[in-house]
């Protein structure tokens, strides 16, 4: 631990009498031997040595009324709080007490560190809505956050339910950014079914860490609770809510709002979050504001739509009300194209109408056009291609996305048997893996059955369905554009596009076991516990970092 975290207020008291030199030397030798083997942090060892030398010097001269000591000379940005070291007649009792206090501080720090700390689930300004779009929706949400709640005694939820690809996530990133600027954001969490850390436990950990950031009193209380019951750091979400979140709410300042934003409720299948939103959220103070986005799935809407503490958005994210927003979005992207001047204003207007407010559909088309041989002809073909739309709501969005995905896949080399084999191996892994691998990692997992070059070639052909794929960075994880791509390929796609996850899970399991058998031994720390050492020469436990473990393991 850095010495700065221990806070020291030094006070050295002139000894009452002088001990014989022989006793001073004996005490000095004993102290030196103790400090040489002491588990105290190095800054404290140096500090105690300075204190002893100063006291001994005072004994020898009998002339010093005060002692001036430099502590950590040259150090900067130190924080010293509420800790005193008194050296009285060589008595080291107070030094021991300081050490015990330091241990308590370390214990609290370690308790907080044991909470999960997920990466990549908070808001991102690069994923927000483009300027001057979604103004009605953002105004509605902002007004709800700051609105007065007459007679309300608990927290409330604002529910945004809209079809897949309608821009819910971009909206959540945008409101998160605005609320963060206002200083009211407690936490934001974006569920992603294709990420292994996308769990309710990590959501609760994000909320707890957000509470700790409010002020020192809240953080101190959370640490106390975690030290008192160490099982809370890894407890089920309901226990953490009851025994960590609720007890610290009374310490929160009442002059601000605490906004929690949860995106992608439909991508959590734990059967834990829905009951929390239904029954537990109203127990929070009324200064809490929770915004939730989701697809309008039946189970979710039946569970939440009619609850007294839940208000549903009245602004649609699709259809005619969003045409202007979509037009701005499409125009902004088409202006970057070299062929922009070849696209007629009528074709752009019809493209906007065809999109029907479905941002993901428009984004996928624009991405597809970048890699088309003749973008203008391809856009015209997509826009004026008729497709059945005899259903409503989320089904229309799904059918439109499916039709677009099928069109993109239909242009690949399905008559090439080798391509079909590589497609099944590479894309089968993409739809099955919980954590994405890079082309390098995927090739190493397959151990020669699929090369890195194979992975890159297949991904280049599927680039419209991938998120920010670049062949120049073979160590960047490969991610599908959206959950709807995975669902289409594994549930609704016709042959030869259809992929069967059970088949690919078995194949990936076989490859993983072979990789563990052949490559795990080269990883640092493997075999440490099997060592046989002399009791007084036990080697340090090897430090295992994420980078030291092979990606595919």
Segment (H or E) for 85: strand 84-87
Say what the pLDDT of residue 474 is.
85
Say what the pLDDT of residue 219 is.
92
Segment (H or E) for 30: helix 21-37
Tokens standing for 432?
């099955």
Distance, CA of 46 to chain centre: 40
Q: Could you give the 3-state DSSP secondary structure of residue 160?
A: strand
Helices 345-355 and 323-334: crossing angle in degrees, nearest 10, is: 130
Nearest alpha carbon to residue 107 among 265, 224, 271: 224
Sheet holding 258-263, edge to edge: 185-190, 258-263, 288-294, 156-161, 310-312
User: What does the H/E/C string look like for 204-227?
Assistant: HHHHHHHHHCCCHHHHHHHHHHHH
Burial class (CB in 10 A: 0-12, 13-18, 19+), 142: middle
Say what the pLDDT of residue 241 is.
96
Say what the pLDDT of residue 148 is.
76
Say what the pLDDT of residue 7 is.
40
- How is the chain split into domains, by residue range? 3-113, 125-312, 320-410, 417-521
Q: Tokens 């200083």, residue?
A: 183
Distance, CA of 99 to chain centre: 35
Burial class (CB in 10 A: 0-12, 13-18, 19+), 515: middle
125-312: which CATH number, 3.40.50.620, 3.40.50.300, 3.20.20.60, 3.40.1260.10? 3.40.50.300
Paired with 292 in beta bridges are 159, 262
Say what the pLDDT of residue 17 is.
46
What ranges make up the beta strands (E) of 107-193? Answer: 156-161, 185-190
Which are the contacts of 501, defined by CB distance < 8 A and separation ≥ 6? 431, 432, 490
The tens-digit pLDDT sequence of the chain (553 residues) is 444 443 444 444 444 444 455 555 655 565 565 555 555 556 555 666 666 666 566 555 444 444 444 545 555 554 555 545 454 444 444 444 444 455 566 777 787 888 888 888 899 999 999 888 999 999 999 999 998 777 778 999 999 998 877 889 999 999 999 999 999 999 999 998 777 788 999 999 999 999 999 999 999 999 999 989 989 999 999 999 999 999 999 999 999 999 999 999 988 888 899 999 999 999 999 999 999 999 888 788 888 978 899 999 989 887 777 888 888 888 888 888 777 788 888 998 988 888 877 788 888 888 888 878 888 888 888 888 765 444 444 566 777 788 888 888 988 899 999 999 999 999 999 998 888 889 988 888 888 788 999 999 999 888 878 877 888 888 888 888 777 888 899 999 999 999 998 888 888 888 888 877 777 666 666 666 666 666 666 777 776 666 656 655 5
Under a CB-based contact definition with an 8 Å cutoff, are residues 129 and 245 in contact?
Answer: no
Distances (CA, A) of 166 to 137, 296, 516: 12, 12, 42
Distances (CA, A) of 402 to 37, 405, 465, 485: 68, 5, 12, 8
Under a CB-based contact definition with an 8 Å cutoff, are residues 194 and 434 in contact?
Answer: yes
Say what the pLDDT of residue 249 is.
95
- How would you classify the pairing of strands 258-263 and 288-294? parallel
Paired with 215 in beta bridges are none
Nearest alpha carbon to residue 259 among 148, 155, 127: 155
Asked whether the CA dihedral 213, 218, 222, 224 is positive or negative, the reply is positive
Q: Please state, in angstroms and rounded to a whole number, the distance separating the CA atoms of residues 90 and 55.
A: 7
Q: Please state, in angstroms and rounded to a whole number, the distance separating the CA atoms of residues 261 and 190.
A: 8
Burial class (CB in 10 A: 0-12, 13-18, 19+), 364: buried
Nearest alpha carbon to residue 145 among 257, 296, 11: 257
Q: Please state, in angstroms and rounded to a whole number, the distance separating the CA atoms of residues 113 and 501.
A: 36
Q: What is the dihedral of CA 149, 150, 153, 156, to 10 degrees?
A: -30
Distances (CA, A) of 469 to 98, 150, 225: 54, 50, 44
Tokens standing for 481?
């554009």
Say what the pLDDT of residue 2 is.
42
């Amino acid at each position: 631990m850095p010495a700065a975290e221990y806070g020291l207020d030094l006070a050295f008291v002139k000894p009452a009498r002088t001990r014989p030199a022989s006793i001073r030397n004996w005490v000095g030798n004993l102290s030196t031997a103790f400090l040489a083997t002491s588990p105290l942090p190095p800054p404290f060892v140096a500090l105690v040595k300075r204190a002893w030398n100063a006291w001994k010097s005072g004994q020898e001269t009998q002339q010093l009324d005060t002692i001036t000591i430099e502590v950590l000379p040259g150090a900067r940005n130190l924080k010293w709080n509420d800790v005193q070291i008194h050296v009285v007649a060589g008595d080291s009792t107070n030094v021991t007490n300081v050490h015990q206090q330091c241990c308590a501080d370390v214990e609290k720090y370690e308790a907080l560190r044991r909470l999960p700390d997920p990466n990549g689930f908070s808001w991102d300004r690069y994923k927000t809505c483009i300027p001057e779009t979604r103004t009605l929706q953002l105004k509605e949400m902002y007004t709800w956050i700051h609105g007065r709640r007459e007679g309300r005694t608990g927290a409330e939820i604002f529910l945004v339910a809209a079809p897949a690809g309608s821009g819910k996530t971009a909206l959540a990133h945008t409101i998160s950014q605005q609320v963060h600027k206002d200083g009211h954001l407690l936490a934001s969490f974006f569920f992603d079914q294709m990420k292994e850390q996308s769990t309710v436990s990590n959501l609760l950990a994000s909320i707890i860490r957000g509470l700790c950031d409010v002020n020192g009193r809240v953080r101190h209380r959370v640490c106390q609770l975690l030290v008192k019951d160490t099982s809370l750091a890894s407890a089920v979400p309901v226990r953490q809510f009851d025994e960590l979140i609720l007890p610290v709410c009374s310490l929160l300042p009442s002059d601000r709002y605490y906004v929690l934003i949860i995106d992608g409720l439909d991508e959590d299948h734990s059967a834990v979050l829905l009951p929390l939103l239904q029954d537990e959220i109203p127990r929070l103070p009324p200064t809490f504001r929770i915004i939730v986005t989701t697809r309008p799935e039946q189970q979710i809407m039946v569970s939440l739509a009619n609850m007294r503490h839940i208000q549903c958005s009245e602004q649609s994210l699709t259809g005619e009300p969003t045409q202007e927003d979509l037009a701005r979005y499409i125009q902004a992207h088409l202006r970057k194209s070299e062929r922009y001047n070849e696209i007629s204003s009528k074709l752009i207007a019809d493209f906007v109408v065809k999109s029907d407010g479905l941002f993901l559909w428009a984004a996928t088309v624009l991405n597809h056009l970048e890699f088309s041989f003749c973008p203008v002809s391809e856009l015209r073909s997509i826009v004026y291609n008729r497709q059945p739309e005899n259903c409503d709501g989320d089904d229309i969005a799904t059918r439109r996305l499916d039709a677009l995905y099928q069109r993109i896949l239909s242009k690949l080399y399905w008559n090439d048997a080798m391509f079909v084999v590589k497609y099944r191996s590479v894309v089968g892994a993409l739809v099955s893996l919980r954590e994405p691998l890079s082309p390098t990692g995927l090739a190493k997992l397959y151990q020669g059955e699929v090369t890195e070059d194979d992975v890159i070639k297949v991904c280049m052909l599927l680039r419209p369905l991938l998120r920010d794929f670049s062949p120049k960075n073979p160590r960047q994880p490969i991610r599908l554009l959206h959950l709807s791509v995975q669902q289409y390929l594994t549930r609704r796609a016709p042959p030869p596009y259809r992929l069967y996850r059970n088949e690919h899970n078995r194949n990936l399991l076989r490859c993983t076991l072979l990789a563990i058998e052949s490559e795990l031994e080269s990883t640092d720390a493997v075999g440490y516990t099997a060592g046989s050492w002399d009791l007084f020469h036990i080697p340090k436990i090897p430090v295992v970092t994420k980078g030291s473990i092979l990606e595919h393991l």
